[in-house]
Amino acid sequence: MSESARFVLATLCGLVIAGMVHLSAVLAMPWLSENDAFSRLAGTLSADRAQIVAAPATGETWLPQPDPNLAISACAYNLADGPVRIATRTGRLFQSLSFHARGAGVFYAVTDRAAIRGSLDLVVMTRRQLDEILAREDEEDPSRDVRIVAPSSEGFAVVRVLATTPSQRQEAEEVARSVACTIDPLPGAPRR
């Protein structure tokens, strides 16, 4: 093989390798990033209350381009410890709740329109935990929980409360602060 042909071949191999490196770098970024929302919220994994991420009054937040009218609270979860129940009370302020899987984005979102008797109450779990709950459930008395199956075991829930006027900011922050994220033990014997 001539010298230039070898060089061209090496360059083509380099381009193919570049394509693979590019793809794997993009795919790995959500998992390697240390600035992503999950990494920043990792400290809330064991907390029972959501942590305030953005408060409209002070404006201090790590979120890029935050909406200054929103009070945002979030809590991270790891479903290996059991299903997680997110409970928030709704009032006259607009409120929305979204679930984000680590590295995979939003997988469920609702607004306060879905609230029942002034509270939004959802349980997030893995497919396996859902099967286990369904198997043990009393058919005569089914649970009224809203169950959401998460695509992966790690993620976080985010509650946004909108203050449409500055006078509502304090109230919005209090609502966001009162969001509870607790582990809901599986019925029967504990798994671990």
Partner 1 sequence: MSAGAAPAVDGALPRPATKRRAPRRTSTATLILYALAVGAGLGLSSAYLLVRRDFPIGGVRAGPWVAWPRVGSREADPYARAIVARRGEVPLGVGEGLAFTAATDSAGQPLTATCEYRIGSVTPPARYWTLTLYDQTGRPALGDLGRAGFTSGEIMREADGRFAITLARDPAPGNWLRQPAAGPVRLVLRLYDTPVAAGSAALDAASLPAIERGVCAP
Written as six digits, the tokens of 75 are: 């809590």
Please identify, using beta-carbon distances, which residue of 92 and 192 lies nearer to partner 1: 92
Residue 29 C-beta: closest distance to partner 1, Å: 4
Type and span of the H or E element at 85 = strand 84-89
Residue 87 C-beta: closest distance to partner 1, Å: 18
Please identify, using beta-carbon distances, which residue of 16 and 116 lies nearer to partner 1: 16
* Partners of 182 in the β-ladder: 85
Please identify, using beta-carbon distances, which residue of 41 and 82 lies nearer to partner 1: 41
Residue 108 C-beta: closest distance to partner 1, Å: 7
Burial class for 146, CB neighbours closer than 10 Å (0-12, 13-18, 19+): middle
Asked if 88 and 175 touch (Cβ cutoff 8 Å), the reply is yes
Residue 134 C-beta: closest distance to partner 1, Å: 23
Please identify, using beta-carbon distances, which residue of 21 and 80 lies nearer to partner 1: 21
Dihedrals phi, psi of 10, to nearest 5 degrees: -65, -40
Residue 135 C-beta: closest distance to partner 1, Å: 26
Rounded distance between C-alpha atoms, residue 80 and residue 158, angstroms = 20
Residues forming contacts to partner 1 in the complex (CB under 8 A) are: 3, 6-7, 9-11, 13-23, 25-27, 29-30, 33, 35-37, 40, 53, 59, 62-70, 72, 74, 94, 96, 98, 100, 103-111, 113, 151, 158, 160, 162, 164-165
CA angle 177/103/107 to nearest 5° reads: 65
Please identify, using beta-carbon distances, which residue of 82 and 176 lies nearer to partner 1: 176
- Rg of the Cα trace of the chain? 22
Asked if 50 and 74 touch (Cβ cutoff 8 Å), the reply is yes
Whats the size of the chain, residue-wise? 192
